[in-house]
Amino acid sequence: MKYCTQCGQPLDDNALFCTSCGNRMAPEAAPEPEIVKEAAPEPAPAPAPAPAYTAPAPAPTPVYTAPQATYNQPVQKMASPGKIIAGFILGISALVLACFTVIFAFCALIPYAGVGMMVYAIVFGLFAVGCGIAGMILCSKAAQTDPDNKKVRLGKTFSLIGIIAGGVGILLGIIFGAVNISRW
């Protein structure tokens, strides 16, 4: 029986590798016949050599990975409710004032009341256009942060209608007032 030269594990005589540590075993030369001299007491078999110390495998080198950039979703700011409500109310006001402007413009055709109604049509028309522009500005600012809000869209629509109808009412008031004045 032979032993591994590296770890001391007992091996089969025909083994080419150690079954414990995998060390390659050197082939042994053919044994020479022993010549017996005197009968000397046989020494006790030598104990198996202690396994040789093997250093632990070095720890693997950590692989450097570049830090990944974190992409946070932008926080969507909500439009302030004050801008939405103010723009909506100004849009409705522009629409109502524009209706009065058109009514006063047609009333400018009434004899003896035409000049007064013409002035009312112009004044109400200017207020309608002013409220419409202010409502459009507030609703446009609110639409930048909350474009799907129903009040924002309605406020912009009412403001636009108020601006257009107010302008038309002013023109009609001036035209109808001039026609009424020319009848005198």
Report CA dihedral (31, 35, 41, 46) to the nearest 10 degrees: -20
Q: Which residue has the higher pLDDT, 86 or 66?
A: 86
Q: Tell me, what's the pLDDT at 75?
A: 61
Q: Which range of residues forms the domain containing residue 111?
A: 81-182
Q: Is the predicted pLDDT of residue 160 greater than 80, yes or no?
A: yes
- Residue-level pLDDT at 96: 92
Question: Mean pLDDT in the chain?
Answer: 80
| Alpha-carbon span 6 to 24, nearest angstrom | 9
Average pLDDT value for residue range 143-148: 83
pTM value is 0.54
User: Looking at residue 133, what is its pLDDT?
Assistant: 94
Per DSSP, 10 falls in state E
Q: Residue 129: is its pLDDT beyond 90?
A: yes
Residue 101 near residue 121, CB atoms below 8 Å? yes
Residues whose CB is less than 8 angstroms from the CB of residue 135 and which lie 6 or more positions away in sequence, other chains included? 86, 87, 88, 89, 90, 91, 93, 94, 155, 156, 158, 159, 162
Query: What was the pLDDT predicted at 11?
Result: 82
How many domains is the chain built from? 1
What φ, ψ does residue 19 adopt, rounded to 5°?
A: -80, -15
User: How would residue 105 be classed by pLDDT, with cut points 50, 70 and 90?
Assistant: confident
Residue 18 lies in a domain: no
pLDDT tens for residues 21-75? 888 877 665 555 666 566 656 666 666 666 666 767 777 777 777 777 666 666 6
In a domain, 42, yes or no: no
| pLDDT above 70 for 12 | yes
Q: Is 172 part of any domain?
A: yes
Over 80: is that where the pLDDT of 137 sits?
yes
- The answer to whether position 121 is within a domain reads yes
Q: Would residue 152 count as lying in a domain?
A: yes
Mean pLDDT of 62-90: 75
Q: Is 103 a domain residue?
A: yes
Q: What is the pLDDT of residue 130?
A: 93
Residue 94 within a domain: yes
Kindly tell me if the per-residue pLDDT of 143 is higher than 70. yes
Q: Give the pLDDT of residue 126.
A: 92
Dihedral of CA 104/110/116/122: which sign? positive
Residue 30 tokens read as 């053919």
Evaluate whether residue 53 is within a structural domain.
Answer: no
Packing angle between helix 150-182 and helix 114-145, nearest 10 degrees? Answer: 160
